[in-house]
C-alpha cells in the first residue's frame, strides 16, 4: 500500500504546485456548475492532471473525481479499486485568495478507504494516512485534541451552495453554538477534518460528497479520532464513502455531539 500512498502524495503535491501557479500568475477563469457552485479553470486542470496520472499508473482502477468524473454510483461498485479525488477542496477560498485550500486524494479497496492524502499547497502542509499505520502531518505523527468537555470544544461545519433547505442546518448550528465553545468556518471540508485529526479543532459535522471527506476521514481515524454519522447509513452503501451527516470528533465528545445533532 505504501507505493500507492507515495504515488498519491506525489501527484497531490504536483497538483498543488499547479493550482498555486495558476492563482499566482493568472487572472482566474471562473464558471458555475449546477447554477450555484463555483468552479475555476484550475479545478479542471488539476483534476485532469491527477486522473491522467492515475490512469497511466493503474489503468484498471476506477476514478471518482469532482470535476471530470463525479458519478457517485462508482462508490457502489466494490470489486475494483477506486480513487476518490477532489482537485481543489475549497474552491471559493481559492478564488478569493484565501489559503485554506487542499488537494484531496483517497484510494479505496472493496469500499474501504486504505490511503488518504490531503495536501494544502498554500500552507505547505501534507496530511497522510495508510490504514493501520497512523496519520502524519509533514511526516510527523499527529493525534486528536483529546477533548472531553463539550462546552470547551471548538467545532467546524459548512453549508451547501443551494439554500432551499437550510432550516435543519440552522437548528443544528443553534444547538451546537449553545453547547460548545465556538464555531470555525474554514471553507474546506478536507481541512476541517484534518484539523480535527491534528487537534486544531475538536469536532466537525456536515453533509458533503465522498471526494470532500474520503481521504481526510481516514486521516482522522488513524489519528485516533472517532468518525461516523449522526443518521443512518443507506443499506448496502460503503460507510467510508457515505456523505450524509458526517461526524468526526475527539473520542471523548463524540457521543454527546452525536446525540445533540440527531435530536436537532
* Average pLDDT of the segment spanning 14-32: 81
Q: What is the pLDDT of residues 58-97, one digit of tens each?
A: 999 999 997 777 777 777 778 899 999 999 999 999 989 9
> Are 167 and 119 contacting, i.e. CB atoms less than 8 angstroms apart?
no
Residue 95 burial (CB count, 10 A): 18
Q: Does the annotation place 37 within a ligand binding site? A: no
89 is in an annotated binding site: yes
Which pLDDT tens digit goes with each residue over 123-182? 999 999 999 999 999 999 999 999 999 999 999 999 988 777 889 999 999 999 999 999
Q: Render pLDDT for 179-216 as a digit per residue (tens, 0 to 9).
A: 999 999 999 999 999 999 999 999 999 999 999 999 99
DSSP type of residue 55: H
Q: Please give the Cα distance from 21 to 155 (Å, whole number).
A: 32
Of the candidates 189, 195, 203, 226, the one whose C-alpha atom is nearest the C-alpha of residue 150 is: 203
CATH class of 150-263: alpha beta
86 is in an annotated binding site: yes
Asked if pLDDT for residue 256 goes beyond 60, the answer is yes
DSSP letter, residue 198: T
* Percent of the chain whose predicted confidence (pLDDT) is above 70: 95
Burial of 53 (0-12, 13-18, 19+ CB in 10 A): middle
Amino acid 33: pLDDT:
60
* pTM of the full structure: 0.94
Mean pLDDT of 1-9: 93
**For the CA atoms of the chain, what is the radius of gyration?**
17
Pairing of strands 30-33, 135-137: unpaired
Using DSSP, state whether 79 is helix, strand or coil. Answer: coil
C-alpha cell at 109: 479497496
**237 phi, psi to nearest 5 deg:** -95, 140
Domain with CATH 3.40.190.80 in the chain: 150-263
- Looking at CATH, the fold of the domain delimited by 2-141 is given as Fructose-1,6-Bisphosphatase; Chain A, domain 1 (3.30.540)
* Nearest-angstrom CA–CA distance, 121 and 55: 23
In the chain, ranges of CATH 3.30.540.10 domains: 2-141
Amino acid at each position: 500500500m505504501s507505493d500507492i500512498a507515495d504515488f498519491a502524495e506525489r501527484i497531490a503535491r504536483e497538483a498543488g504546485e499547479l493550482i498555486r501557479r495558476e492563482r499566482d500568475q493568472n487572472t482566474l477563469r471562473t464558471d458555475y456548475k449546477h447554477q450555484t457552485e463555483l468552479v475555476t479553470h484550475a479545478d479542471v486542470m488539476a483534476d485532469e492532471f491527477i486522473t491522467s496520472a492515475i490512469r497511466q499508473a493503474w489503468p484498471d482502477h476506477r476514478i471518482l473525481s469532482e470535476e471530470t468524473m463525479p458519478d457517485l454510483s462508482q462508490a457502489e461498485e466494490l470489486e475494483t479499486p477506486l480513487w476518490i479525488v477532489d482537485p481543489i477542496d475549497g474552491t471559493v477560498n481559492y478564488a478569493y485568495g484565501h489559503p485554506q485550500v487542499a488537494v484531496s486524494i483517497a484510494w479505496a479497496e472493496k469500499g474501504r478507504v486504505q490511503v488518504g492524502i490531503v495536501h494544502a499547497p498554500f500552507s505547505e502542509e501534507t496530511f497522510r494516512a495508510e490504514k493501520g499505520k497512523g496519520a502524519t502531518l509533514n511526516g510527523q505523527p499527529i493525534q486528536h485534541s483529546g477533548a472531553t468537555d463539550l462546552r470547551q470544544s471548538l467545532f467546524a461545519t459548512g453549508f451547501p451552495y443551494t439554500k432551499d433547505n437550510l432550516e435543519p442546518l440552522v437548528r443544528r448550528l443553534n444547538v451546537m453554538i449553545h453547547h460548545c465553545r465556538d464555531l470555525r468556518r474554514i471553507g474546506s471540508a478536507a481541512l476541517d477534518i484534518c484539523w480535527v485529526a491534528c487537534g486544531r479543532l475538536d469536532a466537525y459535522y456536515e453533509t458533503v460528497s465522498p471526494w470532500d471527506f474520503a481521504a481526510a476521514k481516514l486521516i482522522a481515524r488513524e489519528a485516533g479520532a472517532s468518525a461516523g454519522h449522526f443518521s443512518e447509513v443507506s443499506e448496502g452503501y460503503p460507510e467510508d464513502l457515505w456523505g450524509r451527516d458526517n461526524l468526526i470528533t475527539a473520542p471523548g465528545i463524540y457521543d454527546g455531539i452525536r446525540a445533540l445533532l440527531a435530536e436537532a
